[in-house]
A and B are shown apart, each in its own frame.
Chain A
Amino acid sequence: MDALARIKEQVESNPIVLYMKGTPQFPQCGFSSRAAAALQDCGVKFAYVNILADPEIFENLPKFADWPTFPQLYIDGELVGGCDITLELHASGELQKMTTEAAKKWPEES
């Protein structure tokens, strides 16, 4: 599967997914760190992709949604934005609403 198809598959099969540098536990970029912290603060389950560990995704993600920077947050397959937009939505309470709603779509854990 090529990288763009993999990204499409990831954003469509995960209700909430954050493309970031590093991991939520060990972020490697201040912007990624803040975006992950905002999601963690919402208290919902989210998927993440460490783009530093996947050069192909790193290379192709900007083309996927025509968005040149990282991190990138996708909810229900749609680009929500980067760090600044995520934080702004968090501050207004909108991120909490969006993620709570989207998190209902995670399959039941067995």
Chain B
Amino acid sequence: MIREQIEQLLRETLTPMHLEVINESHMHNVPEGSESHFKVVIVSNNFEGKGLVARHREVNKLLADHFQQGLHALALHTMTPEEWFAKGGTAPESPQCMGGGK
């Protein structure tokens, strides 16, 4: 449910060429079925000419309400189409939890 909301929001605002929104909550110390930890891979022309901090800020801002409401972790891989192709169309794996919780 939250996953779909995030996906829709990012798709509408950033018109990505490629978008993956993956619920990784199962990798962490949270109840089964949680939607707290996500990984987003987003490839958009919108990021052209922007530094990584600016790109992450842009996505974080779009998801501000979700952060208020229980979104806890966001692995974020923001690329322009050119960068995406240069990386062979892949993004890094996220780490496993180490028990810190909130």
Q: A residues touching B (Cβ–Cβ < 8 Å)?
A: 21-22, 27-34, 52, 66-69, 79-85, 87-89
Task: Check if B75 sits within 8 Å of A83, measured CB to CB.
Answer: yes
Instruction: Tell me the interface secondary structure of chain B in the complex.
Output: mixed
Q: Please tell me which one of the listed residues B73, B76, B100 contacts residue A22 in the complex, with CB atoms under 8 A apart.
A: B100
* A88: B residues at CB distance < 8 A: 52
- For A88, the closest partner residue in chain B by CB is B52
Point out the residues of chain B lying under 8 angstroms from A69, CB to CB.
Answer: 60, 73-74
Given contacts A30-B94, A31-B73, contact A66 B57 (CB under 8 A): yes
**Contact: A30 with B56, CB < 8 Å?**
no
CB pair A79 B95 closer than 8 Å: no
Quote the shortest CB–CB distance from B87 to chain A (angstroms). 10
Most buried by A among B57, B74, B95: B95
Measured CB to CB, the closest approach of chain A to B55, in angstroms, equals 9
Give the residues from 69 to 102 in chain B that come closer than 8 angstroms, CB to CB, to chain A: 73-77, 92, 94-100
A68 to chain B: which residues have CB within 8 Å?
Answer: 60, 64, 67, 74
Residue of A nearest to B74 (CB): A69
Complexed CA–CA distance, A89 and B51 (Å):
11
